[in-house]
């Protein structure tokens, strides 16, 4: 059976999938980190392991091509060389794009449109007429609007405002235990000792409290969803008319929290009523099956 290989090479791990062009996963494997800017030798080694494992399992003769989306490749600027090296190594057409482009390709199934990613961090991507744009994604200090991290930061600011005004906060029962604190001052101390990922994990507790009727927690979610919507609208403003109507949602915050996703979408559709939402729940390696919609591949 003929197949293609899609590789999603991200900062924490690499996932490789062998798929039929109909999208059936024939095999999957993964390896360690895959940000080529942070550690090129290790990334190349891990990519080699992932692809070699799939080729050994399914046979090289039936593989049509390999598509890799590699974190950091836009910064290093060596995607063409990496693709050429791997093409020579396996004697198979190998294409290299960024992990963001692969996410866009998968989320929109090769069509033009917008991709909104909100997990620990956030970023917005768009594509129209073979041109790609990005909005946000500048890390927790300068961006990551609407991300799990910023939802927690928003809730903490609300808690501290209540504390400064000498009033009780609905958020105290959520945030003080989450940060192993007995009062807001201790919560701040512990907050600054935690990693970005550890802080972002508290967003689940805020979402649970909102679902249970905690109005302050709900307000934190709405504030960040609307802020993220503003960034999406900023990216959409760069499109030519008529704008692409497909919009894909990816990342844990948008995939798993329907209230948050619907709040975001409502603000977007107030401006662009014909936007068509897509929730992305597949690994981005699946994007390989849509590659021909971006570029002609002789398969």
Is 256 within a domain? Answer: yes
Question: Rounded to 5 degrees, what angle do the CA atoms 217, 141, 252 make?
Answer: 50
The answer on 264 and 159 residing in a single domain is yes
Residue 103 located in a structural domain:
yes
Domain total of the chain: 2
Reply yes or no on whether the pLDDT at 290 is more than 60.
yes
Residue 115 falls inside a structural domain: no
pLDDT of residue 297: 46
207 lies in the same domain as 90: no
Is residue 295's pLDDT more than 80? no
Q: Are residues 56 and 152 in the same domain?
A: no
- Is residue 122, in this structure, part of any structural domain at all? no
> Do residue 97 and residue 165 come from a single domain?
no
Q: What tens digit of pLDDT does each residue of 147-201 get? A: 999 999 999 999 999 999 999 999 999 999 999 999 999 999 999 999 988 999 9
Please list, in sequence order, all residues whose beta carbon lies within 8 angstroms of the beta carbon of residue 133, skipping any fewer than 6 positions away: 125, 126, 127, 235, 238
Which of 87, 107, 127 is the last residue before a domain boundary?
Answer: 107
Q: In this structure, is residue 124 part of a structural domain?
A: no
28 and 159 share one domain: no
Three-state SS string over 192-234 comes to: CCCCHHHHHCCHHHHHHHHHCCCHHHHHHHHHHHHHHHHHHHH
pLDDT band at 11 (very low <50, low <70, confident <90, very high): confident
Q: How many CB atoms lie within 10 A of CB 203?
A: 29
Give the mean model confidence (pLDDT) for residues 36-40: 90
Query: Is the pLDDT assigned to residue 283 strictly greater than 70?
Result: yes
Q: What is the DSSP string of 157-201?
A: HHHHHHHHTT---TTHHHHHHHTT-SSHHHHHHHHTTS-HHHHHT
In a domain, 178, yes or no: yes
User: Looking at residue 267, which CATH number applies to its domain?
Assistant: 3.30.420.40
The answer on 248 and 168 residing in a single domain is yes
> Is 179 found in the same domain as 73?
no
- 248-282 confidence digits (pLDDT tens): 998 889 999 999 999 999 999 999 999 999 999 89
Distances 37 to 41, 53, 76, 79, 142 between C-alpha atoms, Å: 10, 24, 6, 11, 20
| Per-residue pLDDT reduced to its tens digit, 39-79 | 999 999 999 999 999 999 999 999 999 999 998 898 889 99
The domain in which residue 248 lies consists of: 139-279
Provide the pLDDT for residue 137: 84
Note whether 148 and 265 are same-domain residues: yes
For the chain, give the percent of residues with pLDDT over 70.
Answer: 99
The confidence score (pLDDT) of residue 265 equals: 97
CA dist 289 and 258 (Å) reads: 28
Q: Is residue 288 part of a domain?
A: no
- 268 and 147 belong to one structural domain: yes
pLDDT value for 298: 40
């Amino acid at each position: 059976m003929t197949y293609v290989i899609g590789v999603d090479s991200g900062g924490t791990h690499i996932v490789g999938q062998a798929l039929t062009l109909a999208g059936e996963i024939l095999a999957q494997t993964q390896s360690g980190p895959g940000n080529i800017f942070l550690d090129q030798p290790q990334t190349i080694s891990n990519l080699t392991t992932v692809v070699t494992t799939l080729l050994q399992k399914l046979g090289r003769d039936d593989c049509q091509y390999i598509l890799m989306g590699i974190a950091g490749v836009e910064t290093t600027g060596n995607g063409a060389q990496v693709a050429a090296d791997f093409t020579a190594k396996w004697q198979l057409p190998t294409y290299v794009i960024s992990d963001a482009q692969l996410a866009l390709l998968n989320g929109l199934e090769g069509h033009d449109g917008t991709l909104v990613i909100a997990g620990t961090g956030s970023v917005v991507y768009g594509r129209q007429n073979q041109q790609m744009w990005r909005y946000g994604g500048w890390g927790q200090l300068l961006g990551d609007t609407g991300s799990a991290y910023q939802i927690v930061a928003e809730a903490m600011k609300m808690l501290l405002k209540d504390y400064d005004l000498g009033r009780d906060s609905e958020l105290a029962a959520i945030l003080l235990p989450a940060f192993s604190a007995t009062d807001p001052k201790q919560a701040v101390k512990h907050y600054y000792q935690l990693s970005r990922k550890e802080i972002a994990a508290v967003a689940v507790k805020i979402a649970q409290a909102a679902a249970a009727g905690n109005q302050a927690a709900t307000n934190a979610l709405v504030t960040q969803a609307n802020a993220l919507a503003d960034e999406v609208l900023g990216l959409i403003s760069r499109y030519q008319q008529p704008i692409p109507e497909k919009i894909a949602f990816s990342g844990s915050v948008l995939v798993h929290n329907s209230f948050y996703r619907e709040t975001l979408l409502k603000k977007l559709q107030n401006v662009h009523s014909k936007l068509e939402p897509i929730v992305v729940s597949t690994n981005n390696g699946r994007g390989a099956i849509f590659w021909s919609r971006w570029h002609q591949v002789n398969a």
